[in-house]
Chain A
């Protein structure tokens, strides 16, 4: 192939890749723009703080869903994050290569690949069918379970990076292993663990399928954890498919709120991680 033609190929490749990249990024911009454009008009004090009005009436809001999202996410995190950290800690510090360690690692990897729908069905079968009603507790269970592999991986990776020199110093001082694991290694690795936990939180905030089979939905303020509960995600799903303009508008509004939550966490984590590298951590 002549040199000119090879250069032409190179230029063409460069152009093509640029084109592809632009076209892949544009959906992001398009989606964000659509949500802002359609959802902004839905946002109001009433929208954020009140309950839905009876069908047919305008007005009302999704305050109960905003609260529901936070309640369920918080509950899920309360058990999912510690369980994930403990598992990651185990894999990094206690068991890098035995049979149990391998089994745990395989389980964590596999759980990470399981579709979120399956977690929902699991919680549905285990809890909802047993107690015969939809309940937010089942949702917290399913979402927490989904967080575990994400947090465990982040924890294990962050802790593994800590230099063995540090561990040696701690051993030589006669410090008990649990103390060295938590107060030294985990402490040094805390940035990575925190990022992983935040990303896991953002991830479950976006998950809807498990909620459909556990917390389902509600039109009222949550009064107990053991009952169906509304969430932003299910609001979007239900209202968007409803075909009623007012509800579709509210779905856009809910999308805007959800997107703000998820994207801001993601951006904050990426930016702070980069700063760490810039300072040469």
Chain B
């Protein structure tokens, strides 16, 4: 395993009760890149990234087998689940800022609610991360307002800032723009490439063009298996697998 592999996935299998959702996944996500995960509905993309931060196992009846190495350690057997989630952040499809907290408090929620930080520190951290997602100028006069009072696109950027504030190694994004309008979508797409300076990004998208626009690597899932995983440019210009070609040209899914 090279020093530039962030996540080393080895023989990963996952089930919902009897139904197998992921079949023998073996891939290596390179460090500080943006990897897009594409595929038709039900192909296992969501299950896959939820296995990266140990959220899949929270579903009643769910099961995981295999290894996922983060920095050489298996997140399942060698790390505590809470630690994994602090190092592997997540942004969800529907923006979910905490409505009972201010904008500022939302950004640092992960730090504040786990304790151990001084009040002054948190203000600086909030500002730093709001700037990083391009929200600072828009909300700097409304820091004390509820997180839920922002627009949809702003809320999602707030959620990204919240994940970023944990200084994670990896940020998982589950179709972060599918619930947003085109203008907000564009802003977030711009942001995704910038984010790789801070962490490795894995982004699920059902929009193939979006994948082509924002990612360095692309991973095509179908029926719970990885069909193709390659450099984005290469995958889109000369897909090696006929299935991949059919999907990206829109002939199914």
**Are any A and B Cβ atoms less than 8 Å apart in their complex?**
yes
Q: Is the CB of B55 within 8 A of A172?
A: yes
Q: How far is the CB of B153 from chain A (nearest CB, A)?
A: 17
Q: Is the CB of A172 within 8 A of B89?
A: yes
Q: Is the CB of B114 within 8 A of A165?
A: no
Q: A179-B113, A184-B98 are in contact. Are A173 and B92 (CB under 8 A)?
A: no
B244 at interface, CB cutoff 8 A: no
Interface flags for B48-87 (1: CB within 8 Å of A; 0: not) read: 0000010100100000000000000000000000111110
A102 at interface, CB cutoff 8 A: no
Complex CA distance for A187 and B44, rounded to whole angstroms: 35
Q: Is the CB of A188 within 8 A of B109?
A: no
Complex CA distance for A23 and B162, rounded to whole angstroms: 58
Complex CA distance for A163 and B113, rounded to whole angstroms: 19
Complex CA distance for A188 and B99, rounded to whole angstroms: 7
Q: A165-B92, A169-B92 are in contact. Are A174 and B99 (CB under 8 A)?
A: no
Q: Is the CB of A171 within 8 A of B85?
A: yes
Q: Is the CB of B114 within 8 A of A176?
A: yes
Interface flags for B144-172 (1: CB within 8 Å of A; 0: not) read: 00000000000000010011001000000
Contacts of B109 in A (CB 8 A): 170, 173, 175
Contacts of A184 in B (CB 8 A): 98, 100, 113
Complex CA distance for A169 and B114, rounded to whole angstroms: 14
Complex CA distance for A170 and B92, rounded to whole angstroms: 11
Q: Is the CB of B55 within 8 A of A174?
A: no
Specify the chain B residue showing the minimal Cβ separation from A164: B96
Complex CA distance for A176 and B81, rounded to whole angstroms: 10
Q: What count of chain B residues pass the 8 Å CB interface test?
A: 26
Complex CA distance for A272 and B160, rounded to whole angstroms: 35
Contacts of A160 in B (CB 8 A): none
Q: Is the CB of B100 within 8 A of A175?
A: no
A168 at interface, CB cutoff 8 A: yes
A17 at interface, CB cutoff 8 A: no
Q: Is the CB of A169 within 8 A of B98?
A: yes
B94 at interface, CB cutoff 8 A: yes
Q: Is the CB of A174 within 8 A of B82?
A: yes
Interface centre among B97, B100, B110, B162 (most CB of A within 10 A): B100
B9 at interface, CB cutoff 8 A: no
Contacts of A173 in B (CB 8 A): 85-86, 89, 109-110, 113, 162-163, 166
Interface flags for B91-112 (1: CB within 8 Å of A; 0: not) read: 0101011111000000001100
Q: A173-B166, A183-B113 are in contact. Are A166 and B86 (CB under 8 A)?
A: no
Specify the chain A residue showing the minimal Cβ separation from B109: A173
Contacts of B53 in A (CB 8 A): 172
Interface flags for A161-199 (1: CB within 8 Å of B; 0: not) read: 001011011111111100110011001101000000000
In-complex Cβ contact of A174 among B94, B96, B114 (8 A): B114
24 CB < 8 A contacts A-B: A165-B92, A166-B96, A168-B55, A168-B96, A169-B96, A170-B109, A170-B113, A171-B55, A172-B92, A173-B85, A173-B86, A173-B89, A173-B109, A173-B110, A173-B163, A174-B84, A174-B114, A176-B82, A176-B114, A179-B113, A184-B98, A187-B100, A188-B98, A188-B99
3 shortest interchain CB distances as A-B pairs = A173-B110, A174-B86, A174-B85
